Amino acid sequence: MEPSEQRRAHVLRLLTTAMPEPFWIGYQERAKSIYKDAFSAVSADPRLNKSQRLSKLWQERHFAMEWLLIDEAKRDGVQASDTLIAENRCTYALAGHGGVKMTQKYVQSCGQMPSPAKFRKQLAAVNAFDHQGNFLFGDQPVELVLPSQLSGIVLHSPIGKEFTEGDQSIGSIGFYIPYDDYKSWAVQLTFAEIIASYKTEEKREDRVKPSLRVQEIKKTGSE
């Protein structure tokens, strides 16, 4: 197995052990509605100049997705706070469980690296992956080499760039883990890949058991 594949498999094991499956399902489904509602609100506001609607939409989505991270986390038994991170007179949502922490960020295109804010660099410090990408572990347990704690960013972006309902529907959502120097991504995962890993990962005794909300969300497709 290549180093990148080892990192990826290791991260998926940590995520499926630490985080309840309903969190990813609920966050993904509810994000679709938030994108739609934010566009509708901005589009219907007569006080906005046409040239400034995209900027207003970015603000609407940012705060709505900050709220969603906190709300979905609390619904699924994941610890969350909207006051622990404060920078430049702003606070940011932080959620985590079992050694996994995350913030969220809107980006214009899938996989775009958010600006290196101080708090993002500090959170990334736990991601002590091998930077060279050529260190093979062989038969050695990867748990002895790869980090036992992770800090990542939920990145989401629209389909396009024009101010239309189609372009401003959610296009991608994933969990991205930067290297500890916050210069590039160590692991990039879509929510679909994370959710699928719960079906293939072998059961462990310390895994957080999915609640009945998994079946409810999958059945209704929304909250």
Of the two residues 5 and 150, the one the predictor is more confident about is 150
191 lies in some domain: yes
216 lies in some domain: no
212 lies in some domain: no
46 lies in some domain: yes
Count of domains in the chain? 1
With a cut of 70, say whether residue 35 has pLDDT above it.
Answer: yes
Of the two residues 163 and 130, the one the predictor is more confident about is 163
88 lies in some domain: yes
Q: What is the pLDDT of residues 154-211, one digit of tens each?
A: 999 999 999 999 999 999 999 999 999 999 999 999 999 999 999 876 555 455 555 5
89 lies in some domain: yes
With a cut of 80, say whether residue 215 has pLDDT above it.
Answer: no
How much is the average pLDDT of 16-21? 96
222 lies in some domain: no
Give the model's confidence band at 147: pLDDT under 50 very low, under 70 low, under 90 confident, else very high.
confident
The boundaries of the domain holding residue 166 are 3-202
Phi/psi for 19 (5° steps) reads -105, 140
